[in-house]
Amino acid sequence: MKVSIVGAYNSKFGAFVKRDRETGEVEDLKSFYELLTEAGAGAIADAGLEAKDIDAIWVGSCSPSLFVNQEHVGPLALEIDPEGLLFKPTTRTEGACATSSLAIYNAAYAVASGRFKNVLAIGVEKMNTLDTSGVTHALSCCSYWPEEGNKGMTFPGLFAELAKAYQEKEELSPEQLRIMLAHVTALNYRNGIQNPLAHFGPGSIPDINKLTTAEAILNLPESGKGSNPMIAPPLRLHDCSLITDGAAAVVLTSSDNAKASFNHAVELSGIGHVTDRMMLKERIGRLHELRATRHAVDLALKEAGATVDDLDLAEVHDCFTINQLLCVEAIGLSESGRAGYDFMSGKYDPDSDCPINLSGGLKSKGHPVGATGASMHALVYKQLVGEPIGVAAKGNPEVGMTVNIGGSGVTNCVSVMRRLK
């Protein structure tokens, strides 16, 4: 049984706190609980349903116990509508940055089994209640703790290893790689400042400071106000995604029911869910590529009966700019070693055959880790049903792809999404 998305919602992404610089006290301007219920209610309404029509709920949240001192978050979804959802089953998923793609997949499997008719999948994260060191620790818990997080290895450090491996494999000079990554940053900023829901959206720092060309990124100073300092060589500040609060959700049902009963339907035509070994040391020799991601792409395309040439757009996991290069090569849109040159040539700009990260990606839209997968699915859904948020794909797109990755290339979730109506 095939399953389709029939409603979707993406909250505004941002840093929804007010921090006193003298005392360090934090005022929460939009709570974890508010984000969760807003997204869930929004998706149900977008599907034209009522809460009582939902049979089960999956909630993806990566590390709520560290971010907001809250575990057991599945039952919180009942607060969307306590009367309509009372006694409905809820389940929480976790898979680092791929957390809410797993929520969507498990919800889809439940529909495909025939057990439930309409299900809701939500992704949510509230990160900005912690300071930078607190966030760094929380995310480091998604690495192999004994030998990575516990030894001071951060996620910028982990992805720097991928960047160095890619640079060496492709025989790129430091300046060549820096220019390629600056083109990725600039593209995502250009797209993001047109997305009203993006963390770095209209009126944000990239918009105000006109950071929309590679040259502007490259000309930023090394230190001081408005600088682009090195974080983990060769990755700089503007190569890193944002610490973001946000939520997104989708409603799923069988494709047969979607075609019969809903105004819009986008089928999850193919799913690729692949896990690689977590320890970076066990992947030495292949860090220059996302081999597991490529396998997930192959599985998703095969199930969908599609090829890479069928794709009209893709949202990929640019937690760091190097990963955007690796993702388009894993998809097969760029040949190995050619992604940087392709971004430099404008191959993935909005008017291209397969634009990348029209939302602004994690770099500009933001990366509330537990919500990212759901957000990718929600925004591709909106593109395919003719209700794009921000930059629109050209023409009348029918097929999109999401590439959502948890950890340092470990949990790989790839969806091929095809418009039914």
Q: What is the pLDDT of residue 24?
A: 81
Per CATH, the homologous superfamily of domain 3-132+243-253 is Thiolase/Chalcone synthase (3.40.47.10)
Ranges of beta strands (E only) in 245-333 are 246-254, 266-275, 313-316
pTM over 0.75: yes
Task: Name the nearest CA neighbour of 375 among 92, 114, 98.
Answer: 98
Q: Which of 288, 317, 367, 377 is catalytic?
A: 367
How is the chain split into domains, by residue range?
3-132+243-253
- Our answer to whether residue 97 is catalytic in this structure is yes
Confidence of residue 194 (pLDDT cuts 50, 70, 90): very high
Query: Does position 371 have pLDDT exceeding 90, yes or no?
Result: yes
Angle at 420 between CA 416 and CA 421, to 5 degrees: 140
Residue ranges of alpha helices (H) inside 274-403 are 291-304, 321-331, 339-345, 361-364, 372-384
Query: Does position 350 have pLDDT exceeding 90, yes or no?
Result: yes
- Our answer to whether residue 354 is catalytic in this structure is no
Number of neighbouring beta carbons within 10 Å of residue 329? 23
Q: What is the pLDDT of residue 22?
A: 84
**Each residue of 2-60: pLDDT tens digit?**
999 999 999 999 999 999 888 889 999 999 999 999 999 999 999 999 999 999 999 99
What mean pLDDT is predicted for residues 371-383? Answer: 98
**Each residue of 137-179: pLDDT tens digit?**
999 999 999 999 999 999 999 999 999 999 999 999 999 999 9
Mean pLDDT value across the chain? 97
Q: Which of 97, 240, 327, 354 is catalytic?
A: 97
**Each residue of 199-248: pLDDT tens digit?**
999 999 999 999 999 999 999 999 999 999 999 999 999 999 999 999 99
Q: What is the pLDDT of residue 330?
A: 98
